[in-house]
Amino acid sequence: MADITAHQLHSVVAIVPAAGIGTRMGAGKPKQYLELLGQSILAHTLDRLLSHQQITQVIVALHPEDTFFEALPQAQHPKLVTVLGGGERADSVLAALQQAPEHSWALVHDAARPCLTEGDIDKLLASRARFPQGAILAMPVRDTMKRADAKGEICATVCRDRLWHALTPQLFPTSLLKLYLQGAIAAGAVVTDEASAMEWAGISPGLVSGRADNIKVTHPDDLGLAELFLMRATK
């Protein structure tokens, strides 16, 4: 663990995979460019990251045919750079990691989570002292969990003890995350988030309790809820 701990002395780079097209929203543009309170979802997300004093750089992975990003005011921010993303989230994150300093921490955050608070970023960054291997924001499962069968009927009630909803950001040493993402992809492993690549390598990331309003805008109904949370945050 000595080598991992040494990374705490270096910079924090935020990575935003934003190469998706968001088909579930049924909109005429990628979901990250839908408007919330006068600017796009992605713009709100970038504001949260660019304004944090401990984040030295923000790397955004874009779709090769993206025609919306350059119009964002945040696109001209001196802390921001862009790369071409890939077909899957892991490919986009890996492309961004190639541009991050080797001796840094990579803080990966979903483009469609615009309600992230400075306090949650602070909590995750502070967790490096406890979890030098890296950690993720997450929320304990509160509801009763049901497992369904192929017919869409309940086949079991799942014990929710020690179950967590994975959120973002997820924070790992850049060099290790790059190494294990490459390995997991090459092995054909299912990589749904950065933590799953670390788990594939036998590392157990820490869990840092995050806020329930750090929602991911996935469906049209989420837009109104995200607006409510953002309005509450500005009051």
- What pLDDT was estimated at residue 15? 98
Give the confidence band of 171 by pLDDT, cuts at 50, 70, 90: very high
Residue 54 clears pLDDT 60, i.e. is over it: yes
Torsion of the alpha carbons at 125, 129, 132 and 138, rounded to the nearest 10:
-50
Residue 235 clears pLDDT 90, i.e. is over it: no
Give the domain range for residue 20.
2-234
The total domain count for the chain is 1
Residue 219 clears pLDDT 90, i.e. is over it: no
Relative to beta strand 135-140, strand 145-148 is: unpaired
Q: Looking at 2-16, 99-113, 205-219, which range is the least confident one?
A: 2-16
CATH at 12:
3.90.550.10
Whether the bond between 169 and the residue before it is cis, its omega within 30 degrees of 0, is yes
Note the pTM of the prediction, 2 decimals: 0.91
CA distance readout (Å), 178 to 23, 96, 111, 170, 185: 28, 10, 20, 13, 11
By C-alpha distance, which of 225, 220, 165 is closest to 195?
A: 165
